[in-house]
Amino acid sequence: MLLSQSYFGIGIVEDNNDPEKFGRVRVRIFDIHGNDKIKIPTNKLPWAHVLHAANNKSKFETIAIGDWVYVTTLDGQNAQEILVLGVLPGLVKQKLPPQSQDGPGNNP
């Protein structure tokens, strides 16, 4: 995989009840999935693995539903292989940014 094929962006955690108990979350990536939950319901979002610090692997907390996260995709804008790199700190008051005029999947 080439780094140029990766996508980096911001999303919101919509599900953290990982059936495999790996700590994965379902993330709606703003530029890719848009905000239409009828077109792409939460249960159709892929599970994203969460990166944790290697020196603190015995202590990890599940990311909360509604948290904004910084993500990368390992398969470009196909966005089926997602890795959460971090949580954006602070209290987010805005739910979803407005969708761009070009539609989801267009990241300037």
Separation between Cα atoms, residue 108 and residue 83, nearest integer Å: 21
Q: CA-CA distance, 26 to 13, in Å (whole number)?
A: 6
pLDDT confidence of 64, banded at 50, 70, 90?
Answer: very high
What domains sit in the chain, N to C, each tagged with a CATH number?
3-87 (2.40.50.260)
Position 92 confidence tier, pLDDT thresholds 50, 70, 90: low
Q: Is 75 exposed, middle or buried (0-12, 13-18, 19+ CB in 10 A)?
A: middle
- Cα(21)–Cα(101) distance, rounded to whole angstroms? 38
Mean pLDDT of 82-108: 63
